[in-house]
């Protein structure tokens, strides 16, 4: 992996986390959801769960049941 690829990948992660934090802030203010959760910590946790499942299950294990994996990740996150 060259430095350009790593830099662009980091930019994508940062942009994704910023958008997730903004969405979490909106939920906190408009719907009163997750008032006890820090938006940054929540965004990182959600992103990490999704990224981890994608890398392990899809890339390394070659699974193609993406909807099932997404449903499971969301079920875990809702339960927490």
From the CB of residue 20, how many other CB atoms can be counted at a distance below 10 Å? 19
Q: Longest Cα pair distance anywhere in the chain, in angstroms?
A: 43
Which residues are within 8 A (CB) of 42 and not within 5 positions of it... i.e. 6 or more apart?
A: 20, 21, 24, 34
pLDDT in single tens digits along all 80 residues of the chain: 578 878 888 888 899 999 999 988 988 888 877 778 889 998 999 899 989 999 899 989 999 999 999 999 888 887 76
Domain ranges for the chain: 3-79
Q: How many whole angstroms separate alpha carbon 54 and alpha carbon 27? A: 26
């Amino acid at each position: 992996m060259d430095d350009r690829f790593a830099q662009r990948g980091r930019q994508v992660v940062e942009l994704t986390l910023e958008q997730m934090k903004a969405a979490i802030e909106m939920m906190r203010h408009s719907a009163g959801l997750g008032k006890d959760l820090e938006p940054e910590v929540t965004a990182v946790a959600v992103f990490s769960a999704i990224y981890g499942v994608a890398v392990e299950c899809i890339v390394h294990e070659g699974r193609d049941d993406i909807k099932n994996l997404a449903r499971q990740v969301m079920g875990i996150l809702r339960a927490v």
